[in-house]
Amino acid sequence: MAGEVTVPMLPCRTLEESVPFYEALGFACTYRQRRPIPHAVVERGDISLHLYGLPDLDPEQTHSTALIVVPDLPTFHDELAEGLTAAYGKVPRSGFPRVTRPRRRHGTVGGFSVVDPAGCWLRISQLGDTEEAANAEPTTGLRRAIEVAARLGDAKGDVPAARHHLLAAIDRHPDASAEERADAAAYLAELDEREPDRDQPGSDPSDTTTRGEVPNRRSDGV
């Protein structure tokens, strides 16, 4: 039988918190109920998500996720970013909600993630991308390390592991190209933005690790 439809159902602490966020992403709220269980439907083109109330939800412990495949990944990201900037004054990159930047990730397809106020993940990827194609041209050195860090930090949400992996790779590849080093610095800065309270390189004005320059360092600290 054809014509079946699968609709993700994502928890939220309150509709008042989550629905405006999705509206900022360009979704329209097409249904809403308050009792017996808070429930709303948000839609954007062919994307439909159902939200239901779970007042005691801890965003840090949320495991709910939805995969969204789009025909034009860069444009879709730019449209979401434009809506978030209009609503929040900027694209949130840390905390809840937040949005990661599109990038290639080691061992899987590229893309970006949206984490809503309740900690639910929307994992956005490009229509037609496959893991086989993504791995057809393997990368090496610091470029590969950036992709591994992106999978840790963006796909798994493990920012400390991503940062540790990338800093270790910078030590191992002092002769990486200027482009690779600039990309590594940019991603380090993004990771630091997600954990603004941690003690990290960059707090010292003489340390350029998080300001667009990655110093050549050896594992012995010299």
Look at residue 2 and tell me if it is in a domain. Answer: no
Look at residue 78 and tell me if it is in a domain. Answer: no
pLDDT score recorded for residue 152: 85
Domain count, the chain: 1
Give Cα separations from 117 to 13, 22, 44, 162, 180 (angstroms): 8, 10, 18, 23, 33
Least reliable range by pLDDT among 75-79, 136-140, 158-162, 202-206? 202-206
Give Cα separations from 139 to 110, 142, 154, 167 (angstroms): 14, 9, 18, 18
Sign of the C-alpha dihedral computed for residues 59, 92, 158 and 49 taken in this order: positive
Compute the distance between CA of residue 65 and CA of residue 169 in angstroms, rounded to an integer. 30
Look at residue 35 and tell me if it is in a domain. Answer: no
Look at residue 216 and tell me if it is in a domain. Answer: yes
Return the closest-CA partner of residue 67 out of 151, 125, 107: 125
| pTM score of the predicted model | 0.76
Look at residue 168 and tell me if it is in a domain. Answer: yes
β-strand pairing of 39-44 with 47-53 = antiparallel
Look at residue 176 and tell me if it is in a domain. Answer: yes
Q: Which amino acid is at 91?
A: V
Q: What is the pLDDT of residues 57-109, one digit of tens each?
A: 999 999 999 999 999 999 999 999 999 999 999 999 889 999 988 887 655 56
| pLDDT level of residue 32 (50, 70, 90 thresholds) | very high
First to last CA, the chain: 66
- Helices (DSSP H) in the chain: which residue ranges? 15-24, 73-88, 131-134, 141-150, 159-172, 178-194
Domain around 159: 139-222
The two tokens of residue 194 are: 């997600």
Look at residue 221 and tell me if it is in a domain. Answer: yes
- Answer for the pair 163, 131: CB distance below 8 angstroms, yes or no: no
